[in-house]
Amino acid sequence: MLDEKIIGLKLQELRTRLELGREKFSEKPDLSTRYIEYLEKNVNTPTIGTICKIANAYNVPSDTLLNVDLPEPVVINLNSITEKLQDLDACNLFYIKAVVDTVLTYRPTKKAEG
């Protein structure tokens, strides 16, 4: 869950770690010094676009500013899956195919960034 109050603290931690004052810190993402101050003090809540702008400006993952733990990528050995599938009968393979089709139908799609 996203804790909006922690965002200001994370921004302040990033700025402090970079040893930048608010004025200098606000230049790279092209934001006002006052806005950075309001974000740090939780007067304003940044949009996802603003979070991304700051993260991109300082080359940090946006999830660190949001204080969200993203799951680690799953590494799957396709050979081991293939071996297991070879042992299944036609009925079980039908169900496996249905599950795979459902996952592929409802997975989030990546949209082109513009």
Per-domain boundaries in the chain = 4-66
**Architecture field, domain 4-66:** Orthogonal Bundle (1.10)
pLDDT band at residue 1 using 50, 70 and 90 as cut-offs: low
- pLDDT, mean of residues 94-109: 76
Output the average pLDDT for the chain: 83
Ranking 15-24, 33-42, 92-101, 102-111 by mean pLDDT, the lowest is 102-111
Query: Rounded CA gap, 43 and 37, in Å?
Result: 8
Query: Rounded CA gap, 52 and 59, in Å?
Result: 10
Q: What are phi and psi of 90, to 5 degrees?
A: -60, -40
- What are the tens digits of pLDDT across the range 19-70? 999 999 999 999 999 999 999 999 998 888 898 899 889 988 887 887 765 5
Q: Is the pLDDT of residue 109 over 70?
A: no
Cβ–Cβ under 8 Å, residues 39 and 8: yes
More confident residue, 98 or 104: 98
Query: Rounded CA gap, 66 and 13, in Å?
Result: 12
38, burial (CB in 10 Å: exposed 0-12, middle 13-18, buried 19+): middle
Provide the pLDDT for residue 107.
62
Please indicate, yes or no, whether the overall pTM of this predicted structure exceeds 0.85. Answer: no
What share of the chain has pLDDT > 90, as a percent?
33
